Amino acid sequence: MDDDLNSGVQRLLALLRSSIPPIHPAGVPFVSAGLVAAAAGRNHRWLRGAALVAAGANAAFFRHPHRVPPTRPGVVVAPADGKICLVDTATPPTELNMPAVPLQRISIFLSLLDAHVQRAPVSGEVIAVQHRPGRFGSAEQATASADNERNSMLIRTSGGDEVIVVQIAGLLARRIICDARAGDRLSIGDTYGLIRFGSRLDTYLPGGSNVLATLGQRAVAGETVLAEVK
């Protein structure tokens, strides 16, 4: 009887782990603050309720879902969850000191309801990471790529292809987190950063890439294929 009970509990825990995503470490202080406030206000129903709602909202925002990246070579995957809001060409961010040659660019807008962790679009070595201060305008605007605060990262694959991914702060975003540093090696789909509260991700592709993403498409970080590199 005890063995059956233990087995049932283990299956329940496994189900919960598979259906409820963990929280990114950056979100732990926010969730903890809500739970502490709820405990402190246990004698005040409105305060306890508001604190629990805040803790739940932060847990949802900072969720870190498991993703399975594609295994076929030569693909560039979405670095973030969200809606593809722009497919065009643009010169790379100036702070990376790259040639001012227009590259194909795919932009993903993250709403407050999207998971906000960022994932490596390709496997390779981090060549450069550069932060640039800027405005906090709406990330949905085309001018956000040039005007808003951003963090640019250049990754070089084993085949020599270079992919740029840019974290862009939005209207509510006030904190860009990038855990990657020059010299690090990332595998496709690895989590490398996070932007707090609404943002945008730009991906610049190597010349001659075959773009597969379409405007308005929903992207899943680490899984949705944006392009194929020739």
Where in the sequence numbering do the catalytic residues fall? 199
CB-count burial class (<10 Å; 0-12, 13-18, 19+) for 61? buried
The whole-angstrom separation of Cα 222 and Cα 123 is 11
Euclidean distance between the first and the last CA atom of the chain, given in angstroms as a whole number: 60
Q: Would you state the structure tokens that stand for residue 122, as one six-digit string?
A: 């390709």
Name the E strands within 78-230.
Answer: 82-90, 103-110, 117-119, 124-132, 150-156, 162-169, 176-178, 185-186, 191-195, 199-204, 210-211, 218-219, 225-228
Closest to 147 in 3D by CA, of 138, 164, 135: 135
The whole-angstrom separation of Cα 166 and Cα 200 is 8
The whole-angstrom separation of Cα 158 and Cα 188 is 12
